[in-house]
Amino acid sequence: MLGRFGRDAGSVLGVEIASDSVRILELQRRRGRHEVAAWVVEPIRGALRGGGDTEVQAMALRQAWRRCGSRSRRVALAVPGSQVICKVGQLPAALAEPEREAHLLADAERLFPFPIDDLALDFQVLGISQQAPHMLDVLVGAARQSVLAPLLQPFEAAGLEVVAVEVDSLALRRLQATDSCRPLLQVEAASLTLHGWPDGPLPWRKAQRIEPGVGSAEFLAHLESLLEGDPPFEMTAGLMVGGGAATDACVRSLARHFGFPCERVCPQRVHAASLPDRCGAMVLPLGLALGGTQ
Q: What is the mean pLDDT of residues 183-196?
A: 93
Q: What pLDDT, on a 0 to 100 scale, did the predictor assign at position 20?
A: 86
Q: At the top level of CATH, which class does the domain 177-264 belong to? A: alpha beta
Q: How confident is the model at residue 200 (pLDDT cuts 50, 70, 90)?
A: confident
| Alpha helices (runs of H) in the chain, residue ranges in sequence order | 54-68, 97-106, 108-111, 145-157, 168-173, 216-227, 248-258, 283-291
**The pLDDT of residue 266:** 82
- Predicted TM-score of the model (pTM): 0.89
Cα(267)–Cα(178) distance, integer angstroms: 11
Tens-digit pLDDT profile for residues 63-94 = 999 999 999 999 999 999 999 999 999 999 99
**In this predicted structure, what is the pLDDT of residue 226?**
86
Task: Considering only residues 7 and 155, tell me which one the structure prediction assigns the higher pLDDT.
Answer: 155
Q: Taking 60 as the threshold, does the pLDDT of residue 101 lie above it? A: yes
Q: Does domain 13-80+146-172+278-291 have CATH number 3.30.420.40?
A: yes
- What is the structure's pLDDT at 6? 42
| Average pLDDT rounded to a whole number, residues 136-152 | 94
- Can you give the pLDDT at residue 9? 42
Of the listed ranges 81-90, 127-136, 265-274, the least confidently predicted one is 265-274
Ranges for all domains in the chain classified under CATH 3.30.420.40: 13-80+146-172+278-291, 177-264
Provide the pLDDT for residue 4. Answer: 46
| Residue 294 pLDDT exceeds 80 | no
* pLDDT(37) > 90: yes
Contact residues for 222 (Cβ-Cβ < 8 A; gap 6+)? 192, 208, 210, 214
CA–CA distances in Å: residue 25 to residues 76, 114, 120: 10, 33, 26
Tens-place pLDDT, residues 246-260: 999 999 999 999 898
CATH topology classification for 85-142: Dna Ligase; domain 1 (3.30.1490)
Task: State the average pLDDT over residues 136-162.
Answer: 95
pLDDT over 80 (residue 148): yes
Percent of the chain exceeding pLDDT 70 equals 93
CA-to-CA dists, residue 87 to 1, 90, 112, 234, angstroms: 17, 10, 9, 22
185 or 7, greater pLDDT:
185
Q: Is the predicted pLDDT of residue 291 greater than 70, yes or no?
A: yes
- Does 5 have pLDDT greater than 70? no
pLDDT at 179: 66
pLDDT at 290 (0 to 100)? 92
Local confidence band at 43 (pLDDT 50, 70, 90 cut-offs):
confident
Look at residue 25 and tell me whether its pLDDT is greater than 50. Answer: yes
